[in-house]
Amino acid sequence: MALLQIAEPGQSPQPHQRRLAVGIDLGTTNSLVAALRSGVTSPLADADGEVILPSAVRYHSDYVEVGRAAKAAAASDPLNTIVSVKRLMGRGVGDVKQLGGQLPYRFSEGQSQMPFIETVQGAKSPVEVSAEILRALRERAEAVLGGELVGAVITVPAYFDDAQRQATKDAARLANLNVLRLLNEPTAAAVAYGLDREAEGVVAIYDLGGGTFDISILRLTKGVFEVLATGGDTALGGDDFDHAIAGWILAKAGASQDLDPGTQREVLKIACDAKEQLSETDTVEVRYADWQGVLTRATFNELIEPMIARSLK
């Protein structure tokens, strides 16, 4: 994600001031943090040299894991390992019920009608879970840059409503992170691809992410973006592709679709791995329990066709 140099009206950054700000891509599946250093935008790596942070949070009785270690425990500890929490941001209990069996969690609700996820550390809201991801990114950035951040620009789907945007700001506040701006993801994509350096024109940004879908029509005039129209679906993305493949696997294996949380996570991981392999090959061998079969790219395309059609309406 390219970063914008932002100053408040009437103010300009002073060369002698060392003010540290970052850009954060808070994604459904993965997140990352980047900074502008010596005029070059670069993602910031953790101590292991990894740039991508899986958007997974695991609650232990006395501490919290975020990232790869948490993601690895999704099948073995499904009730305390939260993934794809972005799909729950700013949503009410009724919205969560509509997602049905896609969410292998134990939910409760408070007086605010916000859904809470029951964990070994007690009930956690989607805002609190997202705050753990943002906190990990803030701590990484401060360690790499060598100082305290003054704030961050955080990307959000263009189709996020006010409640979802406020939930993102609340998560940042819990993570002790000042939000300089919320930047629509399609606009961030346009800047990242250098479209702001084009002369002028109208472009469509089709952004199908891990859990949300955005379509934005932008007009570019002298380096300025004007948003002509936005649309999308905050409950459509790669996660739904995984569920479609998982359903296909269970049907082929003659297995029940009514799974316990651990088994559901196991099948979804098999499905996700198969999906990723199909980016490189036309067929992939799939194994689940005592069954094994072959998933072709053609079959995969058939499975996701209704969702792609839904995005193009």
Bridge pairing between strands 283-288 and 291-296 = antiparallel
Residue with tokens 């469509």: 204
pLDDT at 97: 66
Catalytic residue among 77, 185, 214, 239: 185
The DSSP bridge partners found for residue 154 are 24, 182
Catalytic residue among 46, 65, 71, 86: 86
pLDDT at 2: 44
Rounded to whole angstroms, how far apart are CA atoms 26 and 132? 11
Helical (H) or strand (E) element with 189: helix 185-192
> pLDDT for 102-151, tens place per residue?
677 888 876 667 888 999 999 999 999 999 999 999 999 999 999 999 99
pLDDT at 81: 94
pLDDT at 18: 66
pTM score: 0.84
What is residue 175's DSSP assignment? T
Bridge pairing between strands 30-37 and 40-43 = antiparallel
User: Which residues, other chains included, contact 210 with Cβ-Cβ below 8 Å and sequence gap of 6+?
Assistant: 27, 28, 29, 30, 55, 84, 86, 237, 238, 239
pLDDT at 100: 55
pLDDT at 9: 54
User: Which residues, other chains included, contact 278 with Cβ-Cβ below 8 Å and sequence gap of 6+?
Assistant: 284, 295, 297, 300
Burial class of residue 21 in the structure, from the number of CB atoms within 10 Å of its CB (0-12 exposed, 13-18 middle, 19+ buried): buried
pLDDT at 281: 93
| 207 catalytic residue (yes or no) | yes
> pLDDT for 210-249, tens place per residue?
888 888 888 888 777 888 888 888 778 888 999 999 999 9
| 86 catalytic residue (yes or no) | yes
| 25 catalytic residue (yes or no) | yes
Catalytic residue among 65, 128, 207, 242: 207
pLDDT at 87: 86
| 240 catalytic residue (yes or no) | no
Domains of the chain, first to last: 238-312 (3.90.640.10)
pLDDT at 234: 74
Helical (H) or strand (E) element with 306: helix 297-312
End-to-end CA separation in angstroms for the chain: 28
How many percent of the chain have pLDDT more than 90?
52
Mean pLDDT in runs of 10 for the chain (313 residues)?
50 60 93 88 92 96 94 90 90 70 74 83 94 97 94 90 93 96 87 75 87 86 82 84 93 85 89 93 92 94 93 82
